[in-house]
Amino acid sequence: MAKLTMRLQLLMKLFNTVVGMAGFFMVAYGVWLIKVWQSDIEPYSYHHQTSIPWFIHAFIGLGISSCAISCLGHFAAHTADSNLLSYYVSLMSLLLLLEIATMTDMFLSFAWLKDITNDPTGGFDKFKDFVEASLDICRWEGVFIVLAQVVSILLAIVMRIQDTDLGNYYVLEHDSAPYTSYISPGHGLYLA
């Protein structure tokens, strides 16, 4: 049973590493997009404070969240604590839903193109052509990241179930042992 737990922990750490690295690269790519946006668009805009499109902010936010949740997943996998595993599954599921909603909006609805101001430099058109040319690669990368997150969630659920089973076994096995309480009725906590 201990070997199975160690293997599950190792697999969960591996998939969390993949998710964390993907989150780091999402943040780095989002920062690069902001830099390109500011260098190409701002000199030609009438207002000096052009707003950065929402999808760049969403991309960076999802990347930061992915890094933080994968860090929590490493702690949960290392300790195999049922509470941490439950928090991890909840947060990773929420992140997964947000990523799917964002990807659906980006890939199926091109209404986000309206958020981008006119680009007199033609730089955005080059960027758009690059994205359209490599759209299949982007979709496969997105599917790979989502698959790694789903496997990580499933591993956490299996570890949580295994921890619950071990806890029930421990209670049943040691039920006949005398129970010593450190709480004295009416007197609070005492040291024995």
pLDDT digits (tens, 9 = 90+) for 46-96: 555 567 777 788 889 989 999 999 999 999 998 888 889 999 999 999 999
Amino acid 171: pLDDT: 46
Amino acid 94: pLDDT: 94
Amino acid 88: pLDDT: 92
In the DSSP assignment, the letter for residue 109 is: -
Please tell me the pTM assigned to this model.
Answer: 0.69
Where do we find the tokens 């190792």? Answer: 10
Amino acid 190: pLDDT: 46
The CA distance from 107 to 143, in Å, is 13
Amino acid 13: pLDDT: 93
The CA distance from 44 to 96, in Å, is 37
> Which residues 6+ apart lie within 8 Å of 80 measured at CB?
5, 9, 159, 163
Token representation of residue 152: 């990580």
Q: What band does 36 get if pLDDT is binned at 50, 70 and 90?
A: confident
Q: What is the DSSP string of 37-88?
A: HHHHHGGG-SSSSPPPPHHHHHHHHHHHHHHHHHHHHHHHHHH--HHHHHHH
Structural domain boundaries of the chain? 2-165
Q: What band does 21 get if pLDDT is binned at 50, 70 and 90?
A: very high
